Amino acid sequence: MRAVQRAARTRAEPRIVGDVRLGIGWGLAFAVGFSLIALASFALGDPRQFARMGVTPATTLAAYLFGGVVGGTLVGLVRPLARWRAGAGVVGVVACLPLSLGFLVAMDGAPSHWTARRVVSGVVTALLLGTACGTSWWEPPDADPPRRSRSDQP
């Protein structure tokens, strides 16, 4: 991860552009992973159950793609906050919120069909999951790599 971050900074572009590119890349990677799981669920599950919930493969995949691109862009924009543990929690919430709202689109359709209870549930899920993930993946920005002992050196 640090090598990718360094590579993004060494290009002749503003740091924020590299951060946004990195965020979108990670967002798309998560979208692909979740999409594969969703496709397996649709292939192996009972189609009537998904139809009762109003979920189709197309809306689910679109929601994951939307969440990945929007979430990745937002993460890239707020990534400088990740220097601090609390800031990393904020970055995690920003990453989870579009995905959570994407689930609402996949489950209920347009925002005009959403209930207040569903919206609150989605936001609370993003707050809890995003904070937990962001703070648990946080690393101090100036963490030194492990030092090699004399016996490890060639």
Of the candidates 44, 52, 96, which has an alpha carbon nearest to the alpha carbon of residue 74? 96
pLDDT single digits (tens) 63-92: 889 888 988 999 999 988 988 999 999 999
Give the position of tokens 């979430």: 71
Give SS3 for 91: helix
The predicted model gives 90-104 an average pLDDT of: 86
Between 97 and 54, where is the model more confident? 97
- Cα–Cα dist 96/130, whole Å: 5
The predicted model gives 13-42 an average pLDDT of: 90
